[in-house]
Structure 1
Amino acid sequence: MSARADIAAGAPDWAAVRTDFPVLEREVHGKPLVYLDSANTGQKPRAVIDTVDAFFRRHNANVSRAVHTLGTEATEAYEGARAKLARFVNVRPDDLVLTSGTTMAINLVAYSWALPRLGPGDVVLVTHMEHHANIVPWQLVAQRTGATVRALEVTDSGELDLDAARAALTPEVKLFAFTHVSNVLGTVNPVRALCREAARRGIVTLVDGSQALPHRQVDIAALGCDFYAFTGHKMCGPTGTGALWARREHLEAMPPFFGGGEMIREVAFEQTVFNDPPHKFEAGTPNIAGHIGLGAAVDYLSGLGMDHVEAREAELRAHAVEALDGIDGLRVLGRAPEAAAVISFLVEGAHAHDLATLLDLEGVAVRSGHHCAHPLMKRFGVAATCRMSLAFYNTHAEIERFAAAVHKVRGLLA
């Protein structure tokens, strides 16, 4: 039984919620773990772990291929997870393609939607704050079609300028692909406004929601985008899970990306008749247990209430920014007014990798490197940063331990 509180009773008991996550009970280098790398992957509550375990112990079978009891149970649980995800983001289950994550979802759009449609002179517009997964697929398609990938600049505070975006949405732009929340800066982009401007010009939009869904309520139907991609492992679910939502007209017009079993209606040597979306894009045996686990993660997050999650993380982020601002020689990258609980920073005289390694010896887990965002690092004139990323299961005491560890490590590296 989870320690979560009923939404109707108000905000959850966050201390009790924390006990739902077994990994947070462990020690690292003889010190209690302070896990500040949730933007990399989120930790898993017992509800998810137990669901995956129960599937393998009691229900393991392939989906949509057998009429025996286990096959029926597996199929119902798998499709039930799709329905849960659809409700979570306010879309129809039939418009939600289950994928291995955001990377696969974006590649699906690149090869099934963009490749047949782009040609010389066409432009895919991205931004300087994109993850490589929202840059490289478009470059690969551009090389094959003669199209061009163009990037929208970000301001010194780490934001997109709406006037600059409007000016960049020129007639040759066929697709505008951008992140909902930056995985480096935490910047929350004005998705509705950007999609509205693109739609006025007949430009298709794709939104990378990897860092949004775990931390805030997302109503895809209200955003006005054409495609929305997200990853399960960042939202308390297993790795190798995620989904692509697309407008129905796109799903029906797009050819399949992968070919194989399940995505067909009839196969003959003369031709193949494909299944209806979303199954048309789901060839082969899927990550059944993983997506059933993701369904359990959705249940867990829904039980907490995403409004409570967002408020809790905003409170923790404010504390973290205040703590970091009190450390001499420390620079925070980006200062967008609306930001999620992701903070990238540098310490004068310390390499990001050295800083992260020494913080690990204090039991503090942060990520160091370019965070799969080379163009953004170049934009800010740095090779790498340390990134601390919070989730609702973190505590104010952990932020104090983190700040004390940074003080200590800075002294060692000075």
Structure 2
Amino acid sequence: MSAVSRRPRSTLIAGSGIARAACARVTAGRRTVVVVDAHLLPLAEDLPRCVAVVPLEVGGVDAGTVAALADRLRDAGAESVVAVGGGTVLDAVAVAAMGRATVAWALRRAEGAAVVSLPAPANPSIEVVAVPTTVGTSAETNAVAIVRTSAGARVLVGEAVRPRYAVLDARHYGTLDAADVRAGCLEAFLRLAGVSTADRAHPRGHAHAVAIARALLAAGHSALTPARRLRIARLSAATQRSAALRGRAPFSPRHWYLATEVSFIARTTKMRATASVVSRVWQCIEDGDTRWGSAEPLEAFWREATRDARLPLAPAAGIDALIARWGLPLAPRPDAEAREAMAARAERWWGGRGPALSGLSAPDVRDVLDRARWDPNPPAEASRLRPTVTPTPAGGGEHT
């Protein structure tokens, strides 16, 4: 997902070993709470003194967690909050920092809508200092937050969830597996490539998108030194801070919505799901199905972005080759019942009259899923995947 805004962007601070000093400087004189991935709790000890440290078990973060965190911030009298972790933690903090009343309103709206447009942020608000420990999500600079509910992922869009500061510390990326770094690199690249499937384009935005995409590919192809990991993190943030997304339709990366439902039903990571479905979506575009996107701008972006990358010229074949070159894992193949549930949910929440998959039906999505590139050697239990929820009847969901 991506969001385009004319409001001031997040202030970026980047370097090696700079998290403590940077956080101390931007939170000076303010009552500060630190929220941290429970598995990274020692990182909170390196941060400046605060009124409370709140660990989050990432696997259990959902709408209830966010509501409880909003209460915790209010009770602590927080004026700023430092969020340390991956996109799940950063998003949870960004939403909770909106305040109890706004959070409650947004979550109520999310019960009947996959996308919730947020009101303008109130003043004074709790300032969010995002300290990411993964790369690729751009949660530290984005005006979009994802909240997991019992019904699936919900997208909250608005300046209220854009962090005030983004602190990128190279030391936080040093222990990430190479596959995780390259998966983050791919996520940032696809954010740019995905919006290129829309007809609308700003010349300056196109130039920025191509430049950032080339830099991401070069970094992903290289040895992942600490400096290069930090560069990937900065490039990911730049997708939101530059003109790269200017003039683009915000719902144009259509692979994202399929991957969301694959991830939810199959209980796999979003990037595994993305790696499995993106080339099939792009193939639909290349074949002329304009409901998925426009072939000409996608082909132009791919041609320019991959000029020096020695990848196939056709976008669908090229993205498959890139995923294979980087050794990125695919999702296990869901069984027929699970694929049916994914397709029904995609139409219910994102299709119909909605802006994300407008005009696309469950059979259209099922066709993509049937032809997707699944892991040929999944664990034995993965071949017996079943829906985690009862499929919702098809029919356009409410969108804001």
Pair member with larger Rg: 1
Q: TM-score, normalised by structure 2?
A: 0.35
Is the strand fraction higher in 1 or 2?
Answer: 1
Q: TM-score, normalised by structure 1?
A: 0.34
